[in-house]
Amino acid sequence: MLTLPAVLTHAASAAFARSLPQALQSESGDLVADASALQQFDSSALAVLLECRRQALAAGKAFSVQGAPTRLRELAGLYGVAELIPAAPAPV
């Protein structure tokens, strides 16, 4: 699981995005991004999630997001990318 930081704004997103290839390699299965810690974010968080998705799909892995704040889901809907960052299935 890839844990997003509490702050993922324009200023922080580039550094986090640079760590994605290594994080993806450490995941043995599908990539689930845990967004539950997000407290301060902007549209850059969506760009990071879309890059996570791109890299996961390129590696043949499924991608989903768990714990996304309501405001992040609303922002994804506003930008028309909500279907590209699906919610992770609820644990059984």
Q: What pLDDT, on a 0 to 100 scale, did the predictor assign at position 92?
A: 60
Q: What is the pLDDT of residue 26?
A: 81
The verdict on domain 2-84 having CATH code 3.30.750.24 is: yes
What is the residue-averaged pLDDT of the chain? 92
For 33-83, give the secondary structure using H, E and C: EECCCCCEECHHHHHHHHHHHHHHHHCCCCEEEECCCHHHHHHHHHHCCHH
Q: Residue ranges of the domains in the chain?
A: 2-84
26 versus 17: the higher-pLDDT residue is 17
pLDDT of 11 strictly over 80:
yes
Segment 47-86, tens digit of pLDDT: 999 999 999 999 999 999 999 999 999 999 999 999 999 9
Q: What is the pLDDT of residue 90?
A: 72
